[in-house]
Amino acid sequence: MLTILFNLAEELLSLYRWVVILAALFSMLVSFGVLDTRNRFVWMIGDFLFRITEPALRPIRNALPSFGNLDISPIALLLILYVAQGLLERIYIAIVTGSLSGLLI
């Protein structure tokens, strides 16, 4: 049961990482005029990606200094997700092996 929970959490983190990448690409394509948000389908995709990623990106944007029009908050969020996934793996190894050596590596 524990393995299933950790695998599920790892897959959710991986999926969220892809959502963040897609949201950043979508934002770039809209800003360069490649995608037109007046199209209802394009707007729905953009709204979905915004609603999914904005709660995680907003605190990062507030903490990072302003770089003008350059938004590096998705990169920071991807790094945070990568670290969280690694930490989750180490916690799982520590629980399975029954020692704290998995956490200290």
Could you tell me if residue 70 is left (phi over 0), alpha (psi between -120 and 50 degrees) or otherwise beta?
beta
As to burial, measured by CB atoms within 10 angstroms (0-12 exposed, 13-18 middle, 19+ buried), residue 53 is buried
How many residues appear in the chain? 105
pLDDT (0 to 100) of residue 105: 59
pLDDT string in tens for the chain (105-residue length): 888 999 999 999 999 999 999 999 999 999 999 999 999 999 999 999 999 999 999 999 999 988 888 889 999 999 999 999 999 999 988 888 887 766 665
Token pair listed for 30: 């809209």
Q: What is the pTM of this model?
A: 0.87
